[in-house]
């Protein structure tokens, strides 16, 4: 377990939180026996292999192997680090996280970076208020003061040290770590100068970086973004994401290419728009969007660059396109981007354009058939061959089958489907050695530790794992009511946590009475094995040099016990 937060607090937190209440708002779950099941949010599938156990407070996917506690789920699903996931759960439980001194220093350091970005944001905002030229520029672009306030838009003055001079020497290093300084000839200076500033926020609304737009025609580059920092990883973030979630109840999200596109749409009442940050749409972006919306509409300019960006988005989206999700592509009239279009034609006309967005299925077929004459036999054969590289990227399921059928219909070539690969099988207890079976049982139901005789000497057995079992027994003795998920958190930072996660689900099919019976049989078997080991040791010593009177008595007792 992470040393930054006391173990006892994690155990108490996971006893207060019901993992179902954490997972259910994010994954559609259905009752399946004593547990719940649904489509795994961590890999692409069409048959549910993702389970949530309230009894163990544990989730597990038999398809990809992802598993863990409510903390682990939030970390994987929301992209949070350990401390932030604990804090979110603690907030739900109404308790405060007792950070240790080491973690307090780490958190203080991170908070210092957030404090820097927040202060710089306020400075930029104030500088905008004092600059009529930039205010007029925004007005001419159709952006009003309320929208600027919502997005915390600001202005970086045309100065080499406009920001640096606002901070004392001891904070210059923090400015640098936030990506706000550049360096040349052993000198530091402001990275952003004479630019309209767009703060970039994380999913919790904290400023983590900036994008700066040139306000003079000759200024290059037109857009300048913060570099990667401890706070900012551009491949994971989307501009306006936190506001789209906050201000819109729509079931779909619009992905555009620029900051001004997001602002213009928001001001015209279309508040479910986000933008990539100077990069092509990544698989992480699409996975993030599908966590909040069931439908994603990519909106591109109607020029050649827009077509190129759309194709990249298509190729990225194919492996992530599940049967319960929808992706569409909208191409605006040439010479228009979302910003210019909504400002010229208004909200209603833009929404009408959205209604004409092309489904991924149609755009995929259009892309595959580009440059092919489908009226000829040669063209149909070419289509069939070209489609293979695209269709094999789709996850198995109804949509992939429909697309294969459509290609077969157009080309006239029948596609013979192959049976799909089966999901990862649940590990069987019969495939495990006795020590692993014991570990699996006490992970599944920690109270079973109390049935293990103190006289049982694991060191006499020819199997590894004694150290881990003794640790589990020790933890359960300290926290008798600990649940399986909380128990696993004690091993979060160990090298074998993934193996423990797999062992956790071996006995899922058994109820409490069956587990107790299995435990009793296993203990009897282990005692028999240790007895045999002791007998062999004494007999070996007897052959080598003889036994003491006490050892002879022990051998007789052991042989008598073995006969019984």
- Dist. CA 62–CA 501, nearest whole Å: 11
Residue 206 in any domain: the answer is yes
Residue whose C-alpha is closest to residue 287's, from 420, 422, 403, 395: 395
**Together in a domain, 217 and 124:** yes
**Together in a domain, 122 and 86:** no
How does strand 295-300 pair with strand 252-256? parallel
Dihedral over alpha carbons 244, 248, 254, 255 (to 10 degrees): 0
H-run or E-run covering 299: strand 295-300
- Dist. CA 388–CA 502, nearest whole Å: 35
Q: What is the pLDDT of residues 277-326, one digit of tens each?
A: 878 898 889 988 987 888 999 999 878 888 899 999 999 999 888 777 89
Angle at 330 between CA 324 and CA 332, to 5 degrees: 170
| Domain CATH for 84 | 3.90.580.10
- Dist. CA 356–CA 518, nearest whole Å: 61
**Together in a domain, 131 and 206:** yes
**Together in a domain, 29 and 144:** no
Handedness of CA 28, 512, 445, 98 (dihedral sign): positive
Handedness of CA 341, 347, 351, 354 (dihedral sign): positive
**Together in a domain, 468 and 559:** yes
**Which residue range(s) make up the domain with 139?**
101-233
**Together in a domain, 434 and 558:** yes
Written as one string, the DSSP assignment of 178-198 is TT-EEEETTEEEES--SEEEE
| Domain CATH for 504 | 1.10.860.10
CB 464 within 8 A of CB 495: no
Residue 278 in any domain: the answer is no
Which of 233, 257, 284 is where one domain is finished?
A: 233
**Together in a domain, 29 and 80:** yes
Residue 310 in any domain: the answer is no
**Together in a domain, 146 and 166:** yes
Q: Which contacts of 352-357 are long-range, i.e. CB under 8 A and separated by 24 or more positions?
A: 354/254, 354/297, 354/299, 354/330, 356/330, 357/297, 357/299, 357/328, 357/329, 357/330
| Domain CATH for 173 | 3.90.980.10
- Dist. CA 536–CA 150, nearest whole Å: 78
Residue 548 in any domain: the answer is yes
Written as one string, the DSSP assignment of 139-163 is HHTT--HHHHHHHT-EEE-S-TTTT
- How many CB atoms lie under 10 A from the CB of residue 319? 14
Residue 250 in any domain: the answer is no
pLDDT for res 1: 42
- How many CB atoms lie under 10 A from the CB of residue 152? 18
Which of 76, 93, 110 is where one domain is finished?
A: 93
Which of 198, 233, 268 is where one domain is finished?
A: 233
Residue 240 in any domain: the answer is no
| Total H helices, total E strands in the chain | 22, 16
Residues with pLDDT less than 50, the chain:
1-3, 102, 419-424
**Together in a domain, 483 and 543:** yes
**Together in a domain, 83 and 176:** no
Residue 58 in any domain: the answer is yes
**Together in a domain, 68 and 111:** no
Residue 326 in any domain: the answer is no
CB 341 within 8 A of CB 66: no
* Beta-ladder partners of 239: 275
Angle at 303 between CA 299 and CA 305, to 5 degrees: 80
Q: How many domains does the structure of the chain reveal?
A: 3
Q: Against a cut of 0.75, is the pTM above it? A: no
- Burial string for 276-303 (b: 16+ CB within 10 Å, else e) reads bbeeebbeebbbbbbebbebbbbbbbbe
**Together in a domain, 45 and 127:** no
pLDDT for res 419: 47
């Amino acid at each position: 377990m992470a040393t930054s937060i006391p173990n006892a607090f994690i155990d108490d937190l996971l006893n207060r939180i019901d993992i179902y209440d954490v997972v259910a708002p994010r994954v559609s779950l259905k009752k399946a026996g004593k547990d719940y099941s649904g489509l795994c949010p961590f890999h692409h599938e069409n048959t549910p292999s993702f389970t949530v156990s309230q009894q163990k407070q544990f989730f597990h996917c038999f398809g990809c192997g992802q598993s863990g506690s409510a903390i682990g789920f939030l970390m994987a699903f929301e992209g949070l680090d350990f401390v932030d996931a604990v804090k979110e759960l603690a907030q739900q439980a109404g308790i405060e996280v007792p950070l240790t001194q080491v973690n307090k220093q780490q958190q203080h350091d991170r908070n210092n970076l957030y404090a820097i970005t927040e202060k710089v944001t306020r400075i930029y905002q104030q500088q905008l208020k004092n600059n009529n030229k930039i205010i007029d520029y925004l007005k001419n672009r159709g952006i009003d003061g309320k929208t600027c306030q919502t997005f915390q838009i600001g202005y970086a003055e045309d100065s080499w040290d406009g920001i640096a001079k606002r901070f004392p020497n001891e904070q210059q290093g923090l400015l640098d770590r936030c990506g706000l300084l550049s360096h040349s000839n052993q000198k530091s200076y402001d990275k952003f100068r004479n630019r309209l500033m767009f703060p970039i926020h994380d999913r919790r609304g904290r400023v983590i970086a900036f994008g700066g737009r040139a306000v003079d025609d000759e200024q290059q580059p037109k857009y300048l973004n913060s570099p990667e920092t401890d706070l900012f990883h551009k491949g994971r973030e989307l501009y306006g994401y936190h506001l789209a979630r906050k201000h819109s109840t729509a079931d779909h999200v619009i992905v555009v290419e620029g900051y001004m596109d997001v602002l213009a749409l928001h001001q015209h009442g279309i508040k479910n728009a986000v933008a990539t940050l100077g990069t092509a749409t990544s698989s992480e972006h699409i996975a993030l969007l599908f966590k909040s919306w069931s439908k994603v509409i990519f909106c591109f300019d109607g020029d050649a660059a827009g077509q190129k960006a759309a194709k990249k988005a298509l190729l990225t989206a194919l492996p992530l396109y599940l049967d319960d999700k929808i992706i569409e592509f909208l191409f605006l009239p040439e010479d228009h981007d979302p910003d210019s279009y909504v400002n010229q034609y208004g909200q209603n006309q833009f929404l009408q354009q959205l209604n004409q967005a092309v489904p991924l299925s149609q755009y995929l077929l259009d892309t595959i058939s580009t440059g092919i004459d489908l009226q000829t036999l040669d063209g149909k054969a070419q289509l069939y061959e070209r489609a293979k590289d695209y269709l094999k990227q789709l996850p198995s399921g109804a949509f992939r089958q429909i697309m294969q059928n459509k290609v077969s219909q157009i080309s006239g070539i029948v596609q013979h489907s192959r049976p799909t690969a089966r999901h990862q099988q649940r590990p069987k207890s019969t495939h495990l050695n006795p020590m692993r079976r014991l570990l699996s049982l006490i992970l599944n139901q920690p109270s079973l530790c109390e049935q293990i005789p103190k006289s049982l000497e694991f060191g006499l057995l020819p199997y590894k794992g004694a150290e881990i079992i003794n640790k589990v027994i020790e933890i359960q003795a300290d926290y008798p009511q600990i649940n399986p998920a909380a128990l696993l958190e004690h091993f979060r930072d160990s090298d074998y946590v993934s193996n423990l996660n797999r062992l956790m689900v071996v006995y899922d099919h058994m109820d409490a009475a069956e587990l107790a019976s299995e435990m009793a049989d296993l203990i009897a078997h282990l005692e028999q094995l240790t007895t045999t080991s002791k007998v062999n040791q004494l007999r070996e010593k007897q052959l080598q040099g003889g036994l003491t009177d006490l050892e002879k008595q022990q051998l007789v007792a052991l042989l008598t016990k073995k006969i019984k």
